[in-house]
Structure 1
Amino acid sequence: MKKYFIHICFLSVGLLFSTSCSKEFLNRVPYDSAPKTSSLNSASDLLTALNGMYSGMKSVNLFGRTIPILGDLLGGNIYISTKNSGRYIPYNTLTYTVADGDASGLWIDAYSVILRANNIINANVPSSPDVDNIKGQAKAVRALMYFILVTHFAQPYVVNPSGQGVPLVLQYDLFLKPARDKISDVYNQILKDLTDGYNTMNALNSNSSYMNKWAARALQAKVYLYMGDYNNAAIAAQDVVSNSGYKMVTNAAYLGYWANPNPRNDKLETLFEVSFDQVYNLATNSLAFFYDQTGYGDALCTPELYALYTPTDVRRQLIIKGSPVRGANALVVNKYPNKPSNNDDDTKVIRFTDVILILAEANARTGNDAAALSWLNMVATDRDPSFAGYTDTGAALINDILTERRKELAFEGDYYYTNFYRLNLDITNRSNAFPASARQFLASNPRRILPIPQGEMDNNPNIQQNPGY
């Protein structure tokens, strides 16, 4: 990672921990102005730094909008309307290049959050329960950001664990220009950070906008799923389900759950989310504004996804048919109903129902179809009371689980990466809502992963570009 990527946010300690990073930073930051970890001398300092780290995750390039949009747009749950503001068009048409600003912004801001986490992790502050909890949160967030980076910019683990991942930067180094680490090394570091976080964090930290040990364990289950290590995925997911005290949001509370814009402290459904409020929100750059028909309203639900929901499925009520701007047949996403002028919707990152579906798939892939059906139908029959439940076994059961995952986690950025990318599966029917040239998205397409930003290539001679760019 080039020098200005490492130091973009290090203007001062105050700036580091209170604002997000600007992309217009070339040659503007005096290298000797970067703060050292010695500037964090107490638990109070670490807590301030921690809030700055979480603040960085709110970037429009990260969980503010781009991450949840890309997972659904690339997979085909949403498409960009012909009446649009010009955002994410290359992802609609599968024509993004090394100059793409969204890919570059994701890379830069993810590494900025990692640098903030590193500053906390490496701070020379004596161990105590509070310090260990804070450092555990930083490790869990670092793991999450590396998981985002390696899944967006590197081949799936199951394709080639020894392939080129992303640079692992764990210490501050003014002159660092690292090569890409192996995919397996990145995943191993992710698992190590999550294990450390699980062992040192509290079971609940204030509310769901802070990482906790069960969020780390749930993310670990998902990482194992992406690695194809289904035994360990099942163990981690079962630990969360059996021991965390979290509960799945049920049918009766489902719509109210999505209407609530605030973090939770009741262990209902949300293990971790990136939180926005009236003080700190993205306004017209928010995810909600991108879906809102009185805002940009660019992204619409594809007819193929809508057709999967029966009229009695509660999740169908989060899609509104008809738009005054885009016509009577437009399918409007209403999963984020709170307008930016009020309290912005938070971005859910780790949900309990996701863990249940991981547990279902892990059991199915290790030969325990009965357990897999039990977990799968816990979700499916709750969301649609008229549905008697799935009965398939084997490969058909796994397809049922992926379908239910698509319906449950739609519009949360999960679909493409969990249903196709990690399994290296072709997308042969992306949606008729896309241009004809973009209705197939085969595993052999170089754009299945994002390009390393051109700025990184220009300034770091040790890094290699992804094939096909």
Structure 2
Amino acid sequence: MDFNQTNIITMKRIQLNSLLAACIITLLSGCSKEYLEKKPYNALPVDQAIKTEADLLIAVRGTYAGLRNLDLYGRTMPLLGDLMGDNTYQSVTNSNRYTLYNQYAMSVADGNALNMWTAAYNVILRANNIINANLEETAAIKSYKGEAYAIRGLMYFELLRFFSKPYAESTTANGVPVVLAFNPTDKPSRKSVAEVYTQVLSDLGQAYSLLGAYSNSSRISKYAAKAIEARVLLTKGDKAAALTAALEVINSNEFTLTDESNHVAYWRNPAPLTNKLETLFEVSSDGVSNLSFDALGYIYNQNGYGDFLCADDLYALFADTDVRKLLLEEGTRGGAPGVFVKKYTNITTDRDDTKVIRLSEVYLIAAEASLATDEVAARDFLNAVATRRDPDFAGYTSTGAALLEDILTERRKELAFEGQRFHDLNRLKRPIVRSTNFPAAARNIPYPFDKRLLPIPQSEQDANPNIAPNPGY
């Protein structure tokens, strides 16, 4: 059963609910604090609940289901990755969702930040129960544990990107608590940014060593883990290691890029892929297991809420011959002209999956990571993406600083509405300059700025005296 996204629970309660989820018993809600702190009469220790390979597979499926949470990949994380940058803005006609993010006016009482924090640690605790399960390590069990390591590393990385300063700014700043095993009495403090990055990379390395063969895009394979590692290393600023990881994925020749002939059809397909086209990992939704009106597609699609539109300056970057422009549409909303996002069109039956990492990003990571040492290679990686999206484009010819700007522009276009732009501007320590589509008071967001970090939830601070708040809240 999916985690109850509206429950306000502390770290201690997260651990308890995670154990229950992994033990495949009914989640309890609406209970008193005293009741929740007692061991439920029907709770099973993990070593009794996960006794076989089949049990472990059920736990793995539950961990993947946790990633679909509204405030993880279900909607909030990818949405904020564009809204808190300069790619999307809130229409004047809206359902009043994420308004404070559009205005950069968040507080410690913010429900989305709370639920992101809670849901991420819920997934981490589910992954921990798989990793720590004491079973004979068959090939399948090793692969299941590899998936859990990858998911745990991914969650810690996402928590870092939203709640902590970039590695380039401070390695000793507060990161997030690292919890590797169930302990109902623990009140963990925040590890440093560097310490959490060490944990993330350790988890992804373990994942790569354990993961088995690719099955489909809704399950993490070894090359998906390596691609995520490349993203982590680029974010960390370790370009040499990022290039090595990216090349391992590219040179495997396991996956292929879309081109102008199949790019739109690729985005119209709501189902996980088995043909290794473009997607290395996505969080799956279907006609039964989905967030319905709360899904990412529904908040972009004009047949849903349609609250968030493409910024005018982003739209202006796409040439008419660029196939990606077909995923946008000019229209009118609330009496004003706007550009509608059409990357997510499946909002009624089989819902769109949320893309977590794609091959095109790996090429763009390789381009940026190789720039300092080999500009020819950097251009080749960049143009491998750009010329496939626009057959009339001859390719970039820039050098030096101009080439870096071209790479970042291509990242902005290629990964638009997938949640990466805000994090790019943060890792590069750049100001966020938003168009006139945005509220006047929130068009120029300097770097550094306290509210470029999400608030540590007030309920977490109240429950755990060892948790340091983020500045500015």
TM-score range, shorter chain: over 0.9
Residue range with higher mean Cα deviation, 3-12 or 238-247: 3-12
Q: What does 1:457-468 align with in structure 2 at a 5 Å threshold?
A: 457-468=461-472
For residues 22 and 76 of structure 1, the distance between their equivalents in structure 2, rounded to whole angstroms, comes to 38
Q: CA deviation at 1:9?
A: 3.8
**Structure 2: which 5+ residue stretches go unaligned?**
1-9
Match of residue 361 from structure 1: 368
**Residue type at the aligned position of 2:383:** N
Give 1:27 deviation, angstroms.
Answer: 5.3
TM-score by length of 1: 0.95
Aligned residue among 204, 220, 228 for 1:194: 204
Q: Which amino acid aligns with 2:334?
A: R
CA distance in 2 between counterparts of 1:223 and 1:25 reads: 40
- Report if the CA contact (8 A) 1:4-1:27 is conserved: no
Aligned AA for 2:274? N
Among 288, 301, 310, which residue is 1:301 paired with? 310
- Aligned partners of 2:90, 2:292: CA distance in 1, in Å? 20
Is 2:460 the partner of 1:456?
yes
Instruction: Give secondary structure in 1 for the equivalent of 2:123.
Output: helix
- Structure 1 404/27 Cα, relative in aligned 2: closer, same or farther at 3 Å? farther
Q: How does 1:236-255 map to 2 (within 5 A)?
A: 236-255=245-264
Distance change in 2, residues 1:356/1:125 (3 Å): same
Superposition map of 1:292-441 within 5 A: 292-323=301-332, 325-327=333-335, 329-339=337-347, 341-364=348-371, 366-418=372-424, 420-427=425-432, 429-441=433-445
Counterpart Cα distance in 1 of 2:275 and 2:29? 35
**Structure 1 counterpart of 2:181:** 171
Distance in 1 between the 2:445 and 2:421 partners?
A: 14
How far does the alpha carbon of each residue in 1:136-187 deviate from its partner, in whole angstroms, 9 at most, with x for none? 0000000000000011100001111111100000011110100000111111
In structure 2, the residue matched to 1:29 is: 36
| Distance across 2 between alignment mates of 1:24 and 1:450 | 28
Instruction: Report if the CA contact (8 A) 1:310-1:316 is conserved.
Output: yes
TM-aligned CA deviation for residue 326 of structure 1: 3.3
Which residue identity lines up with residue 359 of structure 1 in the other structure? A
**Alignment deviations for residues 31-53 of structure 1 (CA, whole Å, 9 cap, x no partner):** 31354320211111100000000
Cα displacement (A) at 1:425: 1.2
Q: Secondary structure at the match of 1:123?
A: coil
Aligned residue for 2:98? 88
Partners of 2:441 and 2:389 lie apart in 1 by 35
Whether the aligned pair in 2 keeps the contact of 1:31 and 1:174 (CA below 8 Å) is: no
Match of 1:232 in 2: 241
8 Å contact kept, 1:246–1:267: yes
Contact in 2 for aligned 1:373/1:390 (Cα 8 Å): yes
1:52-96 CA distances to partner (integer Å, 9 max, x unpaired)?
A: 000111111110100110000011111011111010000000000
Contact 1:8–1:25 (CA under 8 A) maintained in structure 2: no
- AA aligned opposite 1:346: D
Q: Which amino acid aligns with 1:467?
A: P
Matching residue's letter, 2:342: N
Name the residue aligned to 2:157.
Answer: 147
CA gap 1:151/1:25 in 2 versus in 1, 3 angstroms? farther
Provide the C-alpha distance between the structure 1 equivalents of 2:176 and 2:294, rounded to a whole number of angstroms.
Answer: 28
With over 3 angstroms needed to count, the CA separation of the structure-2 counterparts of 1:447 and 1:241, relative to structure 1, is: same
Q: Please tell me the residue identity of whatever aligns with 1:36.
A: P
Cα distance change of structure 1 residues 446 and 13 upon mapping to structure 2, 3 Å threshold: closer
Deviation at 1:389, TM superposition (A): 1.2
Tell whether 2:128 aligns with 1:118. yes
Is contact 1:9–1:15 with CA below 8 Å preserved after alignment?
no
Structure 2 letter corresponding to 1:40? I
3-state SS, counterpart of residue 320 of structure 1: strand
SS in 2 for 1:176: coil
Q: Give 1:441's aligned amino acid.
A: I
**1:63 aligns to what SS in structure 2?**
helix
Which deviates the most, 300-309 or 27-36?
A: 27-36
Q: What are the superposed Cα offsets for residues 305-344 of structure 1, whole Å, 9 maximum, x if unpaired?
A: 1000011111011011114x434622110000112x2110
> How far apart in 1 are the matches of 2:253 and 2:23?
36
- Residue by residue over 1:415-439, the C-alpha shift from the partner in whole angstroms, topping out at 9 and shown as x without a partner, is 1102x11111111x21111111000
Q: Distance in 2 between matches of 1:26 and 1:358?
A: 46
The SS at the match of 2:72 is coil
**Equivalent-residue separation in structure 2 for 1:50 and 1:301 (angstroms):** 36
From 207, 210, 218, give the equivalent of 2:216.
207
CA–CA distance in 2 between the matches of 1:314 and 1:299? 21
- How far 1:26 sits from its partner (Å)? 5.3
Shift of residue 25, structure 1, vs aligned partner = 8.0
Q: Tell whether the 8 Å contact from 2:456 to 2:469 is kept in structure 1 after alignment.
A: yes
**Amino acid across the alignment from 1:457:** Q
Check conservation: 1:214, 1:244, Cα contact below 8 A.
Answer: no
TM-score, scaled relative to structure 2: 0.94
In structure 1, distance between residues paired with 2:148 and 2:84:
30
Q: Is the CA contact (8 Å cut-off) linking 2:300 and 2:306 kept in structure 1?
A: yes
Task: Render the CA deviation track for 1:175-204: whole Å, top value 9, x for unaligned.
Answer: 010000011111111111111110110130
SS of residue paired to 1:51: helix
Give % identity: 46
Count residues in correspondence.
461
Check the 8 A contact 1:37/1:124 in 2, yes or no.
no
Matched residues in 2 for 1:25 and 1:361: separation?
A: 51
Aligned to 2:282, the other structure's residue is in SS state strand
Distance 1:314 1:25 in 2: 54
**Following the alignment from structure 1 to structure 2, what is the Cα–Cα distance between the partners of residues 188 and 225?**
14
CA distance, structure 1, for counterparts of residue 350 and residue 30 of structure 2: 26
CA deviation after TM superposition for structure 1 residue 350, in Å: 0.7
Could you tell me which residue of structure 2 aligns to residue 283 of structure 1?
Answer: 292
- In structure 2, C-alpha distance between the alignment counterparts of 1:111 and 1:5, rounded to whole Å: 7
